[in-house]
Amino acid sequence: MISRVCVVGAGVIGSLFAGHLARVAEVSVLTRRQEHAASLNADGLRISGRSDFTARLVASPDPASLPEPDLVIVACKGTDLESVAARLEGHFPGAVVMTVQNGLGAEEIVRRFGAWPLVSGVTFMSGTRHGDAHVEYILDTETWVGPYGDTPEAVPVEIAELIRASGLKAEAFPDLRPAQWSKLIFNATVNAVAALTGLPHDPHFAAEEQLSDLGFLVHDLIEEGKRVAAAAGIPLREDPWEMNVLATRRGSAHYPSMLEDVEAHRPTEIELITGALVREAERHGVEAPLHTAMYRLVTAKEASYS
């Protein structure tokens, strides 16, 4: 029975989990900054948009001062995962730890810092941060969870039930990899193209009329990603091209986080996303020249910041 949850990292995704889960469980938040924790402790966490309430929770930058949780949700950005996981080392021995980072490999990074049972997660939710203690819930899309390693299947099932009870959408799978890889290929394609062109995820990504239209490149990147998945023996849960076309028809164009990162001159999640896909291609002996090109361009763009 999960009665206490600790959310690690209170960005948009972490805050959406923490705020909603506080309605059905005792929630604590591990923050990076003391001021952030102080603000959450004093004012609670306001969720607006698709939900509208203020959650009461306890927050601290020190894991030792937080109550012992049953479930830890690590919701920081992939670029911060290693340093965040290091802060958990030696804490919360009785907890299950769930990752929700983009790309592949988050579970292995967390595993290096503790023997917790792990749960893999993929989330499509999105929101906008309006301050330390206020997040707007924008896209009420699903979170998918599944067991990692030896974790029994019942664990992600219970987590998905808890997330659903809190008012968010969630589904548990006996094997998350088909869903994880669908999102991996989608993100490797859309995020890198957005970061390089400056375009939000808009109808240009599905245009296939002129020879130079972006939709052809997007399609080719997705097909290349699907060949890597096939070589890795992973059947995809959803077709990433259909995910792409659907998303571009949603009306308001989404700004992928990688585009926001390059515009703000922040490190991107390219290693966990495109880097992971390219390494999988090498491991399984398939060519991925287009994703390799995108990886080289985005990492070079990061090098131009300094």
Partner 1 sequence: MRIAIVGCGAVGSLFAANLSLLEDVEVWAYDLAQDHVDAINRDGLRLSGAGEVLGRPRATSDPAELPPCDFGIVLTKAMHTESAIAATAHAFADGSVCTVQNGVGNEEVLAAHVDRVIRGTTFPAGHIVAPGHVQWDVKGDTTIGPFEPKPAPTAEIERLADACTRAGMPTHAVPDARGAQWRKVIFNSATNPIGALTRLTHGQACELPQLRALISGLVDEGKAVAAAQEIVLDADPEELIDHAAKPEVAYGHKASMLQDVLAERQTEIDWLNGGIVRYGEQAGVPTPLNRAIWALVKGLEQSW
For partner 1, the binding residues (CB under 8 A) are 193, 196-199, 204, 211-214, 216-217, 220, 289-290, 292-297, 299-301, 303-304
Nearer to partner 1, 252 or 304 (CB): 304
The neighbouring-strand residues paired with 148 are 118
Nearer to partner 1, 79 or 299 (CB): 299
Residue 193 Cβ vs partner 1, minimum distance, rounded to whole Å = 7
* Cα separation, 275 vs 104, whole angstroms: 9
Residue 249: closest CA among 289, 297, 201, 287: 201
- How is residue 257 written in tokens? 């986080």
SS3 of residue 34 by DSSP: helix
Nearer to partner 1, 33 or 265 (CB): 265
Strand 45-49's sheet: what is its strand order? 53-55, 45-49, 134-139, 126-131
Residue 124 Cβ vs partner 1, minimum distance, rounded to whole Å = 24
* Cα separation, 68 vs 4, whole angstroms: 7
Quickly tell me which residue has 């020190």 as its tokens. 62
Nearer to partner 1, 171 or 223 (CB): 223
Residue 199 Cβ vs partner 1, minimum distance, rounded to whole Å = 5
Nearer to partner 1, 48 or 299 (CB): 299
- How is residue 4 written in tokens? 């206490």
* Cα separation, 67 vs 91, whole angstroms: 11
Nearer to partner 1, 122 or 247 (CB): 247
* Cα separation, 87 vs 73, whole angstroms: 14
Quickly tell me which residue has 């164009």 as its tokens. 253
Residue 252 Cβ vs partner 1, minimum distance, rounded to whole Å = 16
* Cα separation, 163 vs 119, whole angstroms: 14
- How is residue 5 written in tokens? 């949850």
Instruction: Yes or no: say if 254 and 200 are a contact pair by the CB < 8 Å rule.
Output: yes
Nearer to partner 1, 23 or 227 (CB): 227
SS3 of residue 254 by DSSP: strand
Residue 223 Cβ vs partner 1, minimum distance, rounded to whole Å = 11
* Cα separation, 247 vs 241, whole angstroms: 10
Residue 139 Cβ vs partner 1, minimum distance, rounded to whole Å = 22
Residue 247 Cβ vs partner 1, minimum distance, rounded to whole Å = 16
